Structure 1
Amino acid sequence: MRTLCFLFAAVSIYLQDTAAFRVHRLNKTEKCQESFVHFKNYCVQQGEPTVLKCPIFRYQHLKLNKGSNLSLHLTWYKNDSKIPIPEVESRMQAREDSLWFVPAAMDDSGHYVCVLRNSSFCIEVTISLTVVKSNNAALRDIAYPHNAFTLTNDQLVCPDLSDFVTKDTDLDLRWYKESVLLPKLNNKFKYVVGTNKLIINDVTAADEGLYTCELPFTHRGTRYNITRVIQLQTVDQEKRNHPVIVYPDHKTIAAVLGSKLIIPCKVFTGLGKKSGTVVWWLANNSFVNRNPKYDGRVTEGTFLKTTKNDGNYIEVQLTFEEIREEDFSTSFNCIAKNDYGLQVLPTRIGKAAPAFSWYMAAVPAALACLIVGVMVMYKFRKPRTQKDYILAKS
């Protein structure tokens, strides 16, 4: 028996070393060719239904073969677990490109990995989830930023509700300012019935603060409230044409060594069609694209202009082909400038725990179990065969 244990240990070590080597050499079949850390950190309140969306298609420079979409398979994992999150009905379950928590609990905080693969290619994205206690002190951590110009009428939009509503859902929202319920009709605030919008008339500096929208949601007979918190900041009229950086938002962005990372710098440029705003990135005090130190590993993307209800935006992405140790001690600054003003927003990258590649453990474990099983079967089969031979000879 001692010999058997020694043999099992030796085989396990050998298989682990071999599997690690094979993952390195045969990455087309055993290791994802593309691995990202999603820039967005999901922060939600304890006790509320929550949905993580796999953002794989945001990084859609995949080299999937034509027609291969028919065989695509998406799997979710938590932290370093090698066990896929099941699709069965439970508090935490995988639903196509989404991971549902009904409701979210404090111990759900961590990193989640969604892996999309077919027979020849796979891509994985790590997403960070933080669950906070339901109290006012934590609201700022989960708030969506919103800028409004003074002396104008503005509207707040309750975001990220699409997973909890259908075409037949009656959007009967409640709005709160600093935990005080706002009346549906008065001179200052107005609910837009049947929508996710709240109108604020004649915005002043006194309107700054935290606004909460609340949507009732029923799941399997249990009623929950879906809440979203919006932090309203006002901009003086004389700064109407100044650029305002909306994202990054001063929070450290988690990344894993060796992974890819994309950080978008999103700038609000006001209501005018031509703002003359330019946006660029600096690494410490040098231009990213002109720094030979990065040599294409870190690059600045092109301008992306979009228009939303509250105005115009410009987005410029900073792409890391591979996160290295030096990136954790570098200040990456997003800069937005036009003829009316300038804003600089420093961004830091922090270390995140690496996502465990389940297949690196699954392969050696499965082979080791198979070998041990064969040895055990042989051990018990041999005496029985000898007994049968003696009986036959007699």
Structure 2
Amino acid sequence: MVRSVLMFAALLVPSVCGRPLLSPLPMKDGCYLVSPEVNVLRVEGEAVILSFPMFERVLEVHNIAPPTAKYLVTRGNGTQGGAYHGEGRVQQRDHQLWFLPAQAADSGEYICTYRNETYCVTGSIGLRVYESSSADVEKLSYPIPVSVGEHLRLSCPSLSDFNSTDRPIEWHKDSGLTPPQSGRVQGSFQQDRGRLLIPAVRRSHAGVYTCRLRALIDDQQYKVSRTVVLNVEGVDPVTTVDPVTTTTIDPVTTSEPDLSETSDSGLTSSSFITVHTPRIQPPVILSPRNRTIFESLHGSALELSCTVLTECQTAEHTVVTWLVNNQSVESSYLDGRALQGGRRVTGASEGCHIELRLVVVTMTDEDMNTELRCVAQNRAGRQEVVIRLQLEDSTSTWLVVAAVTASCFLAVVSVFLYVLFKPKGRKKTDYFLTRQNSSF
């Protein structure tokens, strides 16, 4: 009985504390498995750096990575190639894997493994390198939803691992070859210190933007680029012009009369053709629910997923993205500490589901009351949900832990005292049957 109570207390304390030990993680081949990282999509011929932030965070939280720790990055299950070293086109540098440059043949899954005498932990990340001629802009891009009239100041996303050369980051629109001059208008946008600037967004600003830079690695320059798709919602302000009488015909619902047809009475008749266009339904966000508050401990990781329901024929053209305080993740203060990606489309009975992950690697005090928005939009409309981040009160958590521990301790003491001072029962009297006869 006492042993059972003590085991219950030992199992209950870690779960109440909210910091799961390694035991809840799934295992495979004797190693604990960390949730997969957000997949990386890149173009061949450019420098690519693979990092494992979620994997490293697990090691840091559980304090199982001493200075002598050995990290091994392999491709697939480790049978497709040996360990990478600090030389050659593909190099392992600390906990990262560098491709200088990447090739289409590098596409695949990569495993980062930490192993010592006590623990074995593995994490994975998927890399897809497209050939330049077959690059899919929709998959490679970072979708940025904005509204008409909004002031946009956008940084080139996911460049924190690169040291740029003296040449600034260049922005191009719709595969243009001539970059805008710094601080001056080029076509419909500006750039200043490597940032894309649009003082007042208009419908004409929608399109594909590419930022390019030359990264300096080991005294050698490598190309690095990112693609951003700007989706503009709203109507431009009406411009007043001189009134002109015009006639507008809607080709979708009506057509011009055919004067060549006449009735038997000699009168000209008109024929109209009605074209029925299937109505596209706007996307519906299934999760998370609006106004939900997500709590997490200081220093812990948080993973969110936005699930959107849409018609399957419009799934490819439905944009789903996360915003941080009404800014893109790459332009917000969470840049470098939060990753979004892993878009996945699956079929369902009522349509298609689109899922997009958002991973906050480390929660800090700065994240208190941060507003996150999941935005989904297509040609038929737009929907968004708003959630907030909060830090879990560690003081109250430890009070609960202390209360549970004290309760378990008192239970153990009570059982011990009961067993020790258990009152002895009265001695039973022995009874026996005697034979009775008439003479007694």
Query: Under a length normalisation based on structure 2, what TM-score does the superposition of the two structures give?
Result: 0.47
Equivalent in 98, 101, 109 of residue 100 of structure 1: 98
Displacement of 1:37 in angstroms is 2.1
Q: Deviations over 1:85-129 (max 9, x none)?
A: 322311001001110000101110000001123331222111100
Local SS of the residue matching 1:71: coil
Q: Which residue of structure 2 lines up, in the alignment, with residue 288 of structure 1?
A: none
Aligned to 2:214: 216
Q: Is contact 1:305-1:315 (8 Å) kept?
A: no
Deviations 1:172-228 (A, max 9, x none): 1111001113422117422213xx311112101221111001101344565332111
Aligned counterpart, 1:34: 33
Kindly indicate whether the alpha-carbon contact (under 8 Å) linking 1:307 and 1:313 is maintained by their aligned counterparts in 2.
no
Report the Cα distance in structure 2 between the residues aligned to 1:92 and 1:209, rounded to whole angstroms: 34
SS at the partner of 2:41?
A: strand
Aligned to 1:253: none
Give the conservation status (yes or no) of the 8 Å contact 2:325–2:372: no
Q: How far off is 1:150 after superposition?
A: 1.0
The 1-side partners of 2:224 and 2:59 are apart by 30
Describe how 1:135-214 pairs up with structure 2 within 5 A: 135=133, 137-165=135-163, 169-170=165-166, 172-180=168-176, 181-184=178-181, 185-186=184-185, 188-193=188-193, 196-214=194-212
Pick closer, same or farther for the CA change 1:270–1:160 going to 2, 3 Å: closer
Tell me, yes or no, if the aligned pair for 1:112 and 1:128 is still in contact at 8 Å.
yes
Q: Residue type of the partner of 2:121? A: I
What amino acid sits opposite 2:33 in the alignment? E
* Counterpart amino acid of residue 190 in structure 1: Q
In 1, Cα distance between the equivalents of 2:226 and 2:87?
Answer: 25
SS at structure 2 position matched to 1:151 = coil
2:250: which partner in 1? none
**1: CA distance, partners of 2:325 / 2:123:** 33
Deviation string 1:245-283 (CA, Å, 9 cap, x unpaired) is 8x99xxxxxxxxxxxx955447437559xxxxxxxxxxx
User: Aligned equivalents of 2:326 and 2:130: distance in 1?
Assistant: 35
Residue pair 1:29, 1:119 contacting (<8 A) in 2 also: no
Question: In structure 2, which of residues 53, 78, 81 is the aligned counterpart of residue 81 of structure 1?
Answer: 78
Distance in 1 (CA, whole Å) between partners of 2:154 and 2:376 is 26
Report how far residue 162 of structure 1 moved: 2.1
1:385 corresponds in structure 2 to none
The question of whether the paired residues in 2 share the 8 Å contact of 1:29 and 1:121 is answered with no
Q: RMSD over aligned Cα, in angstroms? A: 4.3
Q: Distance in 2 between matches of 1:204 and 1:29?
A: 52
Higher relative contact order (CA 8 A, sep 6+): 1
Higher strand share goes to which structure? 1
Contact 2:373-2:384 at 8 Å conserved across structures: no
Q: What residue number does 2:44 align with?
A: 46
Closer, same or farther: CA 154–105 of 1 in aligned 2, 3 Å: same
Tell me which residue corresponds to 2:10: none
Cα distance in 2 for residues equivalent to 1:119 and 1:148: 52
1:1-394 counterparts in 2 under 5 A? 31-38=30-37, 40-55=38-53, 56-59=55-58, 63-65=62-64, 68-82=65-79, 83-135=81-133, 137-165=135-163, 169-170=165-166, 172-180=168-176, 181-184=178-181, 185-186=184-185, 188-193=188-193, 196-219=194-217, 222-236=220-234, 264-265=305-306, 267-268=322-323, 271=326, 313-314=371-372, 342-343=383-384
Q: TM-score of the superposition, structure 1-length normalised?
A: 0.52
Instruction: Measure, in 2, the Cα distance between the counterparts of 1:81 and 1:267.
Output: 34
CA 1:306 to 1:103, structure 2 compared with 1: closer, same or farther past 3 Å?
farther
Q: CA deviation at 1:36?
A: 2.7
Q: Which amino acid aligns with 1:178?
A: D
CA distance in 1, matches of 2:171, 2:209: 7
2:209 and 2:198 map into 1 onto residues whose CA distance is: 11
Residue matched to 1:380: none
Change (3 A) 1:234 1:60: farther
* Paired residues of 1:149 and 1:203 also in contact (CA < 8 A): yes
Q: Percent identity?
A: 26
Q: In proportion to residue count, which structure has more helix?
A: 1
Q: What SS does the corresponding residue of 1:228 show, helix, strand or coil?
A: strand
Q: Residues 62 and 203 from structure 1, CA distance in 2 versus in 1: closer, same or farther, beyond 3 angstroms? A: same
AA at the equivalent of 2:49 = V
Whole-Å separation in 1 of the counterparts to 2:211 and 2:376: 32
Q: Unpaired runs of 5+ in structure 1?
A: 1-26, 249-260, 273-283, 286-300, 317-333, 345-394
Shift of 1:58: 4.2
